[in-house]
């Protein structure tokens, strides 16, 4: 069959198609300069600029080795270790923590081998020199990779330095995966077309301008038309049994890639495990579990950070309390019943940012939100009930600072799902109640991803994603993004 020719994306130039190799070379050069600076810098700090030899005991087979030569060898071995572990592979750079983990793992493994080799060969390497080189090397390498990642994300937002993806599957699954990939251009997957089981009954994917270039037998044609270097199979239910294998056999090794995209979203890597059984790659998805150790650690971090926060911010808290009291009639604090851990009610406190009769005006405004399509969550961008000083506090999230006392009391956490109203919970679908597995948070993915601009569907998706994939590192990332959003209002990112 002939595929539609309208709205076809441009085929990439040779320069665009070789972005993986060019980016990897940039990482290679950066890693080299970082390691030269760190290793030789550690040597100069520890020994000075003189010529010092390694101490060798009771082994005449080994002649004296200068630390200058040893440092040069260490740089070469470190570069080799980073290459062996594929830390510059396009499959790990640009998103997630795998790249950083591989950098740290390669570095620690290398120094472990050096320690073992030095022990066996009775070579005494200065411990201070190694203790400076290893942690500093990891920190600077990870920081350099992070800087390159910001550069890469900026270019990916302009549809550069991304894999060109052709989606293959049923119309519904293609629509879902295209929407999810479009949410996060920083991941580096730019969808350029689709082949569906509907055999070209439609010219574009539902709800988008993404062209449908044919059916399952037109994958080769679609790849040639779009210059796609990645084929993502979005569903296999309606595909012939051997179709996925046939597609994989026809891809050019090393240049074109096959991705299987199961229709499960917002599930983090640590919960996914592939186990081959009878030739079938079965994907195991673990249910979210929180050990006593995890809960204890999160509580201790919450308690220490919130107590320190109250102490450090006490002058600001006092200033805001006085300002609220003098600027409008009513109490300083606004108390409201919210739903927290395991669906239990608690009283959340904030600085009052609205007029005294705000609750009386709520129903009328809530009806306007329902008419606008937000059936559950009331979050109006320009709420007329907000006082002038309240508008300033909300812009910088200062009205939420008293919630630190909720954290100290144990009803909230620093990071968690948005604490909902009882009236909102009454309208929840069954699956949304999973957000009550953890305590609600002062901040969360919902706050650093758009807040009042989010739809109800997106708010639920972010909250459930947090609950299902919680980790302390993820909390630190959310707190860092919250700090950036508070200091630079309007710069929140998805």
137: how many CB neighbours lie within 10 A of its CB? 26
Q: What is the 3-state secondary structure (H, E, C) of 298-324?
A: HHHHHHHHHHHHHHHHHHHHHHHHHHH
Task: Please give the Cα distance from 332 to 319 (Å, whole number).
Answer: 11
Q: Cβ distance 383 to 342 under 8 Å?
A: no
Structure token digits, residue 221: 């044609």
328: how many CB neighbours lie within 10 A of its CB? 16
Q: What are phi and psi of 7, to 5 degrees?
A: 60, 25
Structure token digits, residue 447: 């706050």
Task: Please give the Cα distance from 492 to 480 (Å, whole number).
Answer: 11
Beta-carbon contacts of 429 under 8 Å, excluding residues fewer than 6 positions away, are none
Q: Cβ distance 483 to 309 under 8 Å?
A: no
What is residue 494's predicted lDDT score, i.e. its pLDDT?
Answer: 33
Q: Cβ distance 150 to 186 under 8 Å?
A: no
In which residue are the tokens 């600077």 written?
A: 140
Question: Got the DSSP string for 424-484?
Answer: HHTT--GGGGGGGGS--EEE-TTTTTTGGG--HHHHHHHHHHHHHT--HHHHHHHHHHHHH
What is residue 310's predicted lDDT score, i.e. its pLDDT?
Answer: 94
Task: Please give the Cα distance from 277 to 288 (Å, whole number).
Answer: 24
Domain boundaries, the chain: 16-156, 162-263, 292-487
Task: Please give the Cα distance from 467 to 288 (Å, whole number).
Answer: 8
Structure token digits, residue 341: 């851990």
Three-class SS state of 260: strand
Q: Cβ distance 378 to 366 under 8 Å?
A: yes
Q: What digits encode the pLDDT tens for the residues 178-194?
A: 888 888 888 888 888 88
What is residue 3's predicted lDDT score, i.e. its pLDDT?
Answer: 44
Question: Got the DSSP string for 184-202?
Answer: -GGG-EEEEEEEETTTTSS
Q: Cβ distance 464 to 412 under 8 Å?
A: no
Task: Please give the Cα distance from 306 to 22 (Å, whole number).
Answer: 45
What is residue 1's predicted lDDT score, i.e. its pLDDT?
Answer: 42
Distance between alpha carbon 173 and the CA centroid of its chain, in Å?
Answer: 23
Q: Cβ distance 177 to 261 under 8 Å?
A: yes
Residue 398, CA atoms < 13 Å, CB-side half-sphere: 20
Enumerate the β-bridge partners of residue 413: 441
Question: Got the DSSP string for 373-432?
Answer: T-SS----TT-TTB-HHHHHHHHTTGGGTTHHHHHHHTS-EEE-S----HHHHTT--GGG
pTM of the predicted structure, to 2 decimals = 0.62
Structure token digits, residue 169: 């599957």
Beta-carbon contacts of 27 under 8 Å, excluding residues fewer than 6 positions away, are 88, 93, 145, 148
Beta-carbon contacts of 439 under 8 Å, excluding residues fewer than 6 positions away, are 340, 341, 410, 411, 412, 413, 416
Q: Cβ distance 176 to 234 under 8 Å?
A: yes
Report mean pLDDT in 10-residue bins for the chain, 494 residues.
45 63 93 95 85 62 71 93 89 82 93 87 81 93 94 88 87 83 83 80 72 84 87 80 79 78 60 61 63 85 94 94 88 91 92 76 59 51 76 87 95 92 85 84 82 70 78 84 74 40
| CA angle, 457 then 462 then 465, to 5° | 120
What topology is assigned to 162-263 in CATH? Rossmann fold (3.40.50)
Name the residue among 184, 200, 261, 194 with its Cα closest to residue 228.
194
């Amino acid at each position: 069959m002939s595929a539609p020719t309208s709205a076809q994306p441009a085929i990439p130039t040779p320069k665009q198609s070789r972005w993986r190799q060019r980016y990897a070379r940039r990482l290679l050069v950066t890693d080299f300069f970082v390691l030269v600076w760190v290793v030789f810098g550690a040597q100069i700090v520890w020994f000075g600029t003189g010529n010092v030899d390694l101490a060798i005991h009771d082994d005449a087979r080994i002649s004296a080795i200068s630390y200058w030569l040893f440092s040069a060898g260490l740089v070469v071995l470190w570069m080799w270790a980073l290459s062996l572990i594929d830390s510059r592979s396009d499959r790990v750079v640009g998103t997630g923590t795998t790249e950083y983990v591989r950098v740290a793992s390669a570095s620690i493994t290398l120094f472990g081998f050096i320690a073992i080799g030095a022990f066996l060969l009775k070579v005494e390497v200065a411990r201070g020199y190694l203790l400076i080189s290893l942690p500093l090397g990891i920190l600077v390498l990870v920081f350099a990779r992070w800087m390159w990642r910001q550069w890469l994300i900026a270019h990916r937002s302009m549809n550069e330095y991304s894999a060109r993806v052709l989606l293959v599957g049923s119309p519904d699954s293609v629509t879902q995966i295209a929407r999810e990939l479009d949410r996060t251009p920083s991941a580096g997957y730019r969808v350029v077309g689709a082949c569906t089981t509907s055999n070209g009954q439609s010219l574009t994917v539902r709800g988008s301008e993404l062209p449908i270039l044919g059916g399952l037998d037109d994958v080769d044609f679609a790849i040639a038309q779009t210059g796609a270097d990645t084929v993502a199979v979005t569903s296999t239910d309606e595909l012939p049994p051997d179709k996925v294998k046939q597609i994989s056999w026809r891809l050019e090794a090393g240049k074109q890639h096959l991705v299987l995209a199961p229709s499960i979203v917002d599930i983090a890597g640590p919960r996914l495990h592939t186990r081959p059984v009878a030739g079938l790659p079965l994907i195991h998805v673990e249910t979210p579990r929180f050990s006593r150790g995890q809960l204890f650690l999160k509580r201790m971090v919450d308690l220490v950070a919130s107590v320190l926060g109250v102490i450090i911010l006490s002058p600001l808290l006092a200033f805001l309390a006085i300002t609220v009291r003098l600027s409008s009639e009513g109490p300083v604090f606004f108390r409201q019943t919210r739903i927290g851990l395991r669906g239990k009610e608690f009283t959340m406190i904030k600085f009052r940012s609205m007029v005294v009769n705000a609750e009386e005006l709520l129903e009328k405004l809530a009806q306007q939100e329902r008419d606008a399509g937000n059936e559950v969550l009331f979050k109006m961008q320009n709420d007329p009930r907000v006082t002038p000083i309240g508008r300033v506090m909300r812009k910088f999230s200062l009205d939420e600072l008293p919630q630190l006392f909720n954290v100290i009391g144990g009803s909230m956490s620093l990071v968690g799902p948005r604490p909902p109203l009882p009236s909102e919970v009454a309208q929840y679908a069954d699956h949304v109640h999973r957000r009550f597995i953890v305590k609600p948070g002062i901040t969360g993915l919902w706050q650093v991803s758009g807040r009042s601009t989010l739809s109800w569907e997106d708010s639920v998706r972010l909250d459930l994603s947090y609950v299902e994939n919680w980790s302390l590192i993820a909390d630190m990332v959310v707190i860092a993004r919250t700090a950036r959003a508070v200091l630079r209002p309007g710069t929140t990112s998805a």
